[in-house]
Structure 1
Amino acid sequence: MKTLNIDAKGKDKDPEWMQVTDAGVTITLSTPSEMNGVKVPKISLRSPTIREVRACQAAHPGDEAAVDAMLFASLAEIGEKDVIGLTVKDYNRVNRGYFRLVDEDEL
């Protein structure tokens, strides 16, 4: 059974491994991973532009996983091979962090 992480106002709180700011999100990995040749315990994504999202979609039409890998790599300033080298658990954390980052806070 999954425990809900709710704050005093009844809103979902971000998990402990995710820190969100207006500029980006930092995700603590469950397993340190190699990024740009260095083993790191965290990965940070900055907020994307529409231009970046569209460029990734144009580069990989119909391949959502490749679009995400290219976009996450660009936002973290790492190689795509580093993104696809993450464990599934950590990739899911990055994915969740990205969608939390671009989500409108007041919705």
Structure 2
Amino acid sequence: MAIKKSIPAWLNVSADRVTITLSKPSEMNGVQVDALSLRSPTVRDIRAAQQGAGEDDEQRELNLFASLAEVGVKDLEGLALKDYSRLQTGYFRLVQDDDV
């Protein structure tokens, strides 16, 4: 029997989207927000993020997250590290198999 990890209070997971509550408001697309949503990625999203980053794994991840959140890469670069870590956690929850 697999043990499921509890979902943090700052993370809301649905079948095709995760919403991450930020630890502090941040500017995205010129607007102050206190949460970010990532939609579920497609193979096309992954390929586009790869093409724009070459061999740079960090840039590829930034490109992908920016696309899924519909914000600019520069906006994500302005996030507190704690909030970027939350974004990474949310993404991995979104793409993991339901049996995990």
**Is the TM-score greater than 0.5?**
yes
Instruction: Give structure 2 stretches of 5+ with no counterpart.
Output: none
With normalisation by structure 1, the TM-score equals: 0.88
User: Rg: which structure is higher?
Assistant: 1
Aligned twin of 1:44: 37
Q: Deviations over 1:29-62 (max 9, x none)?
A: 0011001101110000000101110111121121
Q: Which runs of 5+ in 1 are unaligned?
A: 1-8
Query: Which letter maps to 2:88?
Result: N
Instruction: Give the corresponding residue for 1:66.
Output: 59
| Counterpart-to-counterpart distance in 2, 1:106 and 1:86 | 31
Deviation at 1:86, TM superposition (A): 0.5
Asked if 1:15 corresponds to 2:27, the answer is: no
Task: Supply the AA of the counterpart residue of 1:37.
Answer: G
State the partner residue of 2:80. Answer: 87
Pick from 63, 78, 88: which aligns with 2:71? 78
Q: 1:103 aligns with which of 76, 91, 96?
A: 96
Percent sequence identity over aligned pairs: 53
Cα distance, 1:10 vs structure 2: 4.0
Greater than 6 Å deviation, 4+ residue runs: none
- The SS at the match of 1:19 is strand
1:95 Cα deviation (Å)? 0.7
- The aligned residue for residue 3 of structure 1 is none
TM-score (norm 2): 0.94
